[in-house]
Amino acid sequence: MADDQSQHGELAPWDIVQLARHPQRPHTLDYIRGLCEDFVELRGDRRFGDDRALLGGVARFNGQTVVVLGHQKGSNTKENIAHNFGSPRPEGYRKALRLMRHAEKFGFPVLAFVDTPGADPSMASEERGIGEAIAENLLVMAELKVPIVTTVIGEGGSGGALAIGVADRLLMLQYAIYSVASPEASAAILWRDASKAPDAAKAMKITAQDLYRLQIIDEIVAEPDGGAHLDMPAAIAAVSAAIQRHLDELRALPAAELRHRRYDKYRSIGVVHHAQTVALNAALS
Amino acid sequence: MKDFLRRTQRGFTSSRKPEQQIPEDLWHKCAGCKELISAKQFQDNAKVCPRCNYHERLDANEWVSLLLDPDSWQEQDAALAPADPLGFVSPKDNYAKKLQTLRESTHRQEAAISGIGTIAEQPLVLCVSDFAFMGGSMGAVVGEKVARSAERAADAGMPLLTINASGGARMHEGMLSLMQMAKVSVALARLGEAGQPHISLLLDNCYGGVTASYASAADIMLAEPRAHVGFAGPRVIEQTIRQKLPADFQSAEFLLEHGMVDMVVPRAELRAVLGRLIGLYTPKAHAVNAFASGNNGAQAFLRGA
């Protein structure tokens, strides 16, 4: 275990994974209720059903009406079963889409909270087009005319997380994780061995610090000592202050400028080389 | 009984002496029905088995020559090459080295090619994934090629055709791969604003972050017969639900039945179908002229007069 830890005695990525998944960690509804007043849940996708793994509605945040939505995990097994462990089915994403369109119609900003191991892998979800549901959300978020601030509060897993994460500002709690696939799935895909998850957690660069360095997230929200579950009010206050600061900046922008900046933000992600440079580097090394 | 089964499975390939082996240039063994067919017939049939209709995977260049008018293809962004942004090293895997090996064996920089060409003299932007290069997975370069293709189509006023076979996002580029889903989506949204259609052709197989982004974010969705397309892979779903999946699960025909694609198109008909489709979204010069001279009322109506 010792060599897994950095020289500065910081937590290893795998330790952070445990914190991000801690059952007592504040979940989306805790943040919505802690941050906002007058929360009214809006349910259903108007197509098929109401997904309890992704909840949302309208609420008042520091005096202003906002649309809030996020993946909902439970704090115990019973709650987790009710919320499908925070893994939305297509209905959840289509409800999120409906709420985002609703926000655009009334000029409300969108506050989204990410906390999911990933989209629901099941026959039912595939039959109802889970891939299409995620793809459609990405496309609509790309051109939504109102500000979107997404906060990764626990576990950000794969496309199921990104489906509410194409935001103007992407914030991440200090001990949250965000990855292209869960460490277990990554290890299974890369090395056909899910037990190598701790290695994957390290190799895949999934912590807030890693992702800030890679310029994928805009801010790390510091957690209380030991993690958000040890002092929920303090964690909520920190998230509230960060979101308000970003919202103030975003609301000052005209809609066209907002969308223009969002385009540039996502269009520029990822490192590409030109073959000549690669050849040159190979020759030099 | 068990022993009997095991022997048959091993027998066919391993017990053959070299001189008994099928001359590859004359005969082709279909991966679908396992029958021997004339290699020439198979090739002439665009690698579709004439007996069982099995569609064998084509590489990106074969798609270009199958679908586009001869000599119309102009590849673009061919020099874009992947970086190793995470410095991905593990006991079993070293991304930089893997890329180097693949570059030498496939003579390609990446898992997709993109460019412009024509189908029945109608211009379009084309981006084709190549499954042979790391399972067609999407890292920053594939994302960049798709995004540039969408932008090029938007700027030039041409339709975009993407041909998609991919295992999903590329693990070795971590979150930067996941974010390619957002990158291609902002570019596709711009294409939509430009009023140009995106046609997505789904091939065997297409999964994960590619299915959950540009491959599904299309105006028209086509699939090859018996192609398998989904978000979660069948193994993952079987592990979750602890039961066997039906044989046709996630097949093109299954997608059609569930309303997820517009058409399942046999390879032999693809060029004609695409030609007709693109024509419907590309105003023909004479049609535009007829409209301008003969129907001023309608035109004024469209202008909001």
Question: Tell me, what's the pLDDT at B11?
Answer: 34
Give the per-residue pLDDT at A280.
Answer: 59
d(CA A139, CA B12): 49
Mean pLDDT within A117-123: 96
Query: B250 and A132 in contact by Cβ < 8 A?
Result: no
State the nearest Cα–Cα gap between B161 and chain A, in angstroms.
17
B1 within some domain: no
CA distances from B159 to A54, B98, B260, B288 (A): 35, 35, 21, 18
Indicate whether B76 and B148 sit together in one domain: yes
On whether both B39 and B108 belong to a single domain, the answer is no
Q: Does B110 fall in a domain?
A: yes
Output B226 or A277, whichever has higher pLDDT: B226
> Number of folded domains in chain B?
2
Instruction: State the DSSP H helix or E strand holding residue B283, giving kind and residue range, or none if neither.
Output: none
Domain layout of chain A by residue ranges: 2-284
Q: Contact at 8 Å (CB) between B168 and B206?
A: no
How far is Cα A167 from Cα A259, in angstroms, rounded to an integer?
A: 10
Contact check, Cβ <8 Å, B90/A190: yes
| Average pLDDT estimate for A221-232 | 97
**Do B51 and B125 share a structural domain?**
no
- Classify residue A104 by burial, with Cβ atoms within 10 Å: 0-12, 13-18, 19+: middle
Look up residue B283 and give its amino acid. P
Residue B160 and residue B18 share a domain: no
| B122 to chain A, closest Cα gap in Å | 27
**Residues lower than pLDDT 50 in chain B:** 1-16, 286-305
At residue B8, the pLDDT reads 42
| Domain shared by B192 and B114, yes or no | yes
Residue A192: what pLDDT?
A: 86
% of chain A beyond a pLDDT of 70: 93
pLDDT score of B297: 36
Residue where a domain stops, chosen among B41, B56, B71: B56
pLDDT recorded at residue B288: 43
Based on the fold, state whether residues B205 and B285 are members of the same structural domain. Answer: yes
Q: In terms of domains, do B143 and B22 share one? A: no
Q: Which of residues 197-226 of B touch A (CB under 8 A)?
A: 208-209, 211-217
Of A194 and A31, which is predicted with more confidence?
A31
Residue among B101, B109, B160, B178 with most chain A CBs within 10 A, to mutate:
B178
Q: Which residue of B has its CA nearest to A139?
A: B185
B257 and B110 fall within a common domain? yes
Give the start-end residues of each E strand in chain B.
27-29, 36-38, 74-76, 80-82, 89-90, 93-94, 112-119, 122-129, 160-166, 198-206, 220-223, 263-264
The reply to whether A271 touches chain B by the CB within 8 Å rule is yes
Q: Are residues B298 and B216 in the same domain?
A: yes
pLDDT 10s digits, A91-118: 999 999 999 999 999 999 999 999 999 9
Cβ distance B212 to A189 less than 8 Å, yes or no, reads no
According to DSSP, residue A76 is labeled: S
Residue B4 domain-assigned (yes or no): no
Express each pLDDT in A138-169 by its tens digit. 999 999 999 999 999 999 999 999 999 999 99
Closest CB to B186 among A132, A165, A263: A263
pLDDT band at A202 (very low <50, low <70, confident <90, very high): very high
* Structure confidence by residue, pLDDT tens digits, A6-39: 444 589 999 999 999 999 999 999 999 999 999 9
Residue-level pLDDT at A2: 41
pLDDT at A197 over 80: yes
- Judge residue B293's burial from the number of C-beta atoms within 10 Å of its C-beta, 0-12 exposed, 13-18 middle, 19 or more buried: exposed
The ipTM value here is 0.94
CATH number of the domain residue B128 falls in = 3.90.226.10
Are residues B204 and B93 part of one domain? yes
Check whether residue B17 and residue B125 sit in a common domain.
no
Q: Do A267 and B259 touch (CB under 8 A)?
A: no
The structure's pTM equals 0.90
- The tens digit of pLDDT for each residue in A63-72 reads 999 999 999 9
Tally A–B CB contacts below 8 A. Answer: 202
Question: What pLDDT score does A188 carry?
Answer: 87
Mean pLDDT calculated for residue range A181-190: 90
Nearest by CB: A180 against B178, B213, B259: B178
Residues of B in contact with A186 (CB under 8 A): 171
Chain A hits for B237, CB-CB cut-off 8 Å, are 121-123, 126
CA distance A136 to chain B (A): 6
Report the chain A residue with the minimal C-alpha distance to residue B193.
A143
Query: Would you say residue B2 lies in a domain?
Result: no
Is B7 inside any structural domain?
no
Residues B225 and B267 in one domain: yes
Write out the residue range of the structural domain in which residue B47 sits.
12-56
Instruction: Write the CATH number of the domain with boundaries A2-284.
Output: 3.90.226.10
